[in-house]
């Protein structure tokens, strides 16, 4: 299968290896385990903040720095805008800078490349900043799943009495899967607009194939659209036919891909019970990527932007336990000293790949740009980008998007 993403500065130097150590070797077909050419500053360098400021000032309006809310404090301070993946996708298109430095993960940089002009280059400061959820769905697996659906009379619904399946793909997915989604008549969604997107999908067909986050798909279908758990089946790409009996697959309203977020998936109902006992009067607010049982136990559910807005609007003295990525929860606690803000799970749980973008890598990327070199440029091939953009544009055209 050809790679959809070309890493321009590693293409020639790479050698395939079965086991790649993060940050030490190169693989042209993957964002994983890739080297940064040149010298990445030492994390102990006391001049790092000053070096970042200096490089940022020299680059001026030629560079636009996007920062996802889950980024480290040391990095997000240099972001021109902050946001979740949906907001950053819009911000990437709105700014005309020739270079975007994306402080986030690989699929976000791919999306920025797809949505911006061909002359815009998108730089990811560390190519090892991937997403474990996105990695749980490969394009060959998705194509096989589509064949499984067609084999039971679903999919494109071409046969007489066939069931029309509409793919609905979370932003947290590869460009290749976004492209498949566009070709197959589907759309992209984020946690901010999953409900509207699923309603739209049911206007186009009778069945939704939701990829790759089973939890967001289930929570949206059951909590937002009022479907039952029995209306949903979980398709596991590791098993023939997804491990679902053909009649169940055909009858399902929502086919959930068996993927999850390795951060949000750690929250359990017991954590909700525990924090209620530890912090009397606490309100539990969780991201919809958490398990359905956790959503049922929580008081509120909301996307990353909704979590931030809820805390902004909350009265002084209120108490909150937040079930999302720890960098963001720590920042919310700092920004709201008049409120009690605690992490839902007492154990520390950062997103390891988001944290790959640290200040040394940001300084390295900015200084490379100052030197006239564009490092780690993320480029999606034209055919993949064309259909992925169709799927993204369907999302951007949703009412209220």
Q: Which is nearer to ligand SF4, 31 or 325 (CB)?
A: 325
Work out whether 66 is an interface residue with ligand SF4 (CB under 6 A): no
Q: Which is nearer to ligand SF4, 193 or 353 (CB)?
A: 353
Shortest separation between residue 92's beta carbon and ligand SF4, angstroms: 17
Work out whether 354 is an interface residue with ligand SF4 (CB under 6 A): yes
Decide: 224 and 216 in contact? Cβ < 8 Å: no
Binding test (CB under 6 A) with ligand SF4, winner from 120, 121, 353, 384: 353
Shortest separation between residue 380's beta carbon and ligand SF4, angstroms: 18
User: By CB neighbour count within 10 A (0-12 exposed, 13-18 middle, 19+ buried), where does 21 fall?
Assistant: exposed
Shortest separation between residue 354's beta carbon and ligand SF4, angstroms: 5
Work out whether 355 is an interface residue with ligand SF4 (CB under 6 A): no
Work out whether 263 is an interface residue with ligand SF4 (CB under 6 A): yes
Cβ count near 393 (within 10 Å) = 14
Shortest separation between residue 215's beta carbon and ligand SF4, angstroms: 10
Shortest separation between residue 107's beta carbon and ligand SF4, angstroms: 8
Work out whether 345 is an interface residue with ligand SF4 (CB under 6 A): no
Q: Which is nearer to ligand SF4, 155 or 217 (CB)?
A: 217
Work out whether 211 is an interface residue with ligand SF4 (CB under 6 A): no
Work out whether 262 is an interface residue with ligand SF4 (CB under 6 A): yes
Decide: 300 and 313 in contact? Cβ < 8 Å: no
Peptide bond into 353 cis (omega under 30): no
Q: Pick the stretch among 28-36, 261-269, 359-367, 368-376 that binds ligand SF4 (CB under 6 A).
A: 261-269
Shortest separation between residue 136's beta carbon and ligand SF4, angstroms: 10
**Binding to ligand SF4 (CB under 6 A): which residues in 166-205?**
172
Angle between helices 106-115 and 175-183 (to 10 degrees): 50
Q: Which is nearer to ligand SF4, 55 or 109 (CB)?
A: 109
Shortest separation between residue 151's beta carbon and ligand SF4, angstroms: 31
Q: Which is nearer to ligand SF4, 201 or 351 (CB)?
A: 351
Strand order in the sheet with 187-189: 187-189, 165-170, 207-211, 254-257, 232-235
Shortest separation between residue 307's beta carbon and ligand SF4, angstroms: 13
How many residues form the binding site for ligand SF4 (CB under 6 A)? 13
Shortest separation between residue 298's beta carbon and ligand SF4, angstroms: 18
**Binding to ligand SF4 (CB under 6 A): which residues in 269-328?**
325
**Binding to ligand SF4 (CB under 6 A): which residues in 110-169?**
131-133
Work out whether 105 is an interface residue with ligand SF4 (CB under 6 A): yes
> What residues line the site for ligand SF4 (CB under 6 A)?
70, 105, 131-133, 172, 261-263, 325, 351, 353-354
């Amino acid at each position: 299968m050809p790679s959809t993403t070309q890493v321009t500065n590693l293409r020639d130097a790479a050698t395939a290896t079965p086991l790649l150590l993060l940050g030490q070797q190169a693989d042209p077909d993957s964002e994983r385990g890739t080297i940064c050419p040149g010298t990445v500053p030492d994390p102990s360098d006391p001049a790092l903040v000053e070096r970042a400021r200096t490089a940022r000032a020299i680059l001026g309006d030629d560079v636009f720095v996007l920062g996802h809310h889950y980024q480290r404090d040391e990095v997000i301070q240099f972001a021109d805008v902050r946001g979740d993946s949906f907001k950053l996708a819009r911000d990437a298109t709105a700014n005309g800078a020739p270079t975007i430095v994306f402080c986030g993960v690989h699929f976000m940089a791919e999306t920025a490349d797809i949505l911006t002009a061909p002359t815009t280059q998108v730089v990811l400061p560390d190519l090892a900043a991937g997403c474990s959820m996105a990695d749980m769905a490969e394009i060959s697996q998705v194509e096989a799943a589509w064949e499984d659906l067609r084999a039971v009379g679903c999919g494109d619904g071409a046969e007489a009495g066939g069931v029309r399946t509409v793919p609905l793909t979370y932003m947290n997915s590869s460009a290749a899967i976004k492209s498949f989604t566009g070709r197959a008549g589907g759309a992209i969604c984020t946690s901010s607009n999953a409900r509207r997107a699923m309603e739209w999908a049911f206007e186009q067909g009778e069945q939704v194939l939701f990829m790759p986050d089973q939890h967001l798909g289930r929570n949206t279908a059951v909590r937002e659209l009022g479907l039952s758990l029995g209306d949903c089946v979980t398709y596991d790409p590791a098993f023939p036919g997804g491990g679902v009996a053909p009649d169940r697959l055909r009858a399902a309203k929502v086919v959930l891909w068996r993927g999850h977020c390795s951060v949000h998936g750690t929250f359990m109902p017991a954590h909700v019970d525990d924090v209620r006992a530890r912090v009397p009067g606490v309100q539990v607010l969780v991201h919809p990527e958490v398990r359905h049982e956790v959503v049922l136990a929580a008081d509120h559910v909301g996307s990353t932007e909704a979590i931030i807005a809820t805390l902004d609007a909350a009265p002084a003295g209120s108490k909150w336990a937040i079930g999302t990525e720890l960098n963001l929860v720590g920042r919310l606690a700092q920004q709201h000293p008049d409120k009690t803000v605690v992490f839902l799970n007492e154990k520390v749980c950062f997103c390891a790949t988001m944290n790959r973008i640290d200040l040394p890598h940001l300084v390295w990327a900015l200084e490379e740009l100052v030197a006239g070199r564009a490092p780690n440029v993320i480029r999606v091939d034209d055919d993949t980008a064309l259909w992925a953009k169709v799927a993204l544009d369907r999302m951007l055209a949703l009412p209220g998007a």
